[in-house]
Amino acid sequence: MSGIAEIQSRIADIEARIAQFTGTTGQTLATTLSTSTSAASGEFANVLSSTGSGVAGAVSRGTRVLNDAALGGGSTGQRLLDVASQFKGVPYKWGGTTPSGFDCSGLIQYAGKQIGLNLPRTAAQQATVGTEVPSLDQARPGDLVVLENGHHIGIYVGNGQMLHAPKTGDVVKISKVWETPMTIRRLGTTAATTAAGVGVAATLLSGLGGTSATDASAYVRPASLSTGATSRSAPYESAFTAAEQKYGLPSGLLRAVAKQESGFDPTARSHAGATGLMQFMPATARSLGIDPTDPFASIDAAGKYLSGHLKTFGSVSLALAAYNAGAGNVKKYGGVPPFAETQNYVKKITADLGSAA
């Protein structure tokens, strides 16, 4: 047995072994995996946690995650596309590298940074990263499409179209790929990425009484389905994790706050004038030195802001109350203020965290 047939046989074996475990064991595996620095392990951990005793049903999804960590292609490129798509409508700005304005390569470099990719600055330099895709017919969403003899670059979205920052007077948008690309580049196929995926597989399999790291690589199968974001939070997951680690916050706190504040909508605006993914009031955003419409800057600022409240008040509940109603009100009432909105806010977020905080 060899090739895809062998891989599918091994996947069936891992599914059978996971099916024997209880929800508690599945949660234990999830906890173990979530300690890894690999983004793939964190996503797989979430899959296991969410299914409890139905862990077996998660494996087909989990193996796609592992595949993308090990073999690149869909996941890295799709995550790049997911992030870059948030900036549709942003004005073109020659030399622009931030959400206040992008040029073609600035958009790609900025989006790459949000998912942990250190991409070069110019289109000509970006035309050399990753591995080459032979033709547009074989391109996948998330591949880099290089046009105009290396002077223009965009991100393929499928159906002969790409997302790009076109020219002065225009905005980030989706357009037809108007010429045969000079080159098409697929991200995520480095040796380091492969090692990360194999490491995740090895961790999982060792928890199942499994196999060596070398054998683990055989459990990673070629993707047959796009692995784009499974929810509106997907483009921001790595940013949530990074900010939580940077500011010493409980895992999942920033995601839960964003869910409550804006439903993961970076264009949200409240009746009171709060703006963006993390819903900062203009004065607060100015004090933090951020553009609240930049979701990634807002996530980092929210981490810093909540960390300050946590140090001041000593509990997650009170830090959340201060985020919602202001530190002055928490001090005034000596706890969570008696406002229905604030009390419900704290309850919903701490429920999402799975703790009384």
SS3 category, 96: coil
Contact 180, 145 (CB under 8 A): no
* Averaged pLDDT of the chain: 76
pLDDT tops 70 at residue 4: no
Decide which of 3 and 327 is more confident: 327
Nearest to 68 by CA among 157, 187, 158: 187
Place of tokens 């509940």: 317
Q: In angstroms, rounded to a whole number, what is the distance separating the alpha carbons of residues 272 and 263?
A: 17
pLDDT in tens, 205-226: 444 444 333 333 333 333 322 2
Q: Does position 159 have pLDDT exceeding 80, yes or no?
A: yes
The pLDDT of residue 10 is 52
Banded pLDDT at 16 (limits 50, 70, 90): low
Give residue 14's pLDDT.
Answer: 54
d(CA 160, CA 15): 37
Q: What is the dihedral of CA 98, 116, 228, 268, to 10 degrees?
A: -40
Predicted pLDDT at 69: 43
Report percent pLDDT > 70 for the chain: 66
What pLDDT was estimated at residue 42? Answer: 47
Q: What tens digit of pLDDT does each residue of 93-102 get?
A: 999 999 989 9
- 261 part of the active site: yes
Catalytic residue among 148, 179, 261, 341: 261
pLDDT band of residue 231 (cuts 50, 70, 90) is low
Q: How many CB atoms lie within 10 A of CB 253?
A: 26
- pLDDT value, residue 116: 78
The whole-number pLDDT of residue 17 equals 54
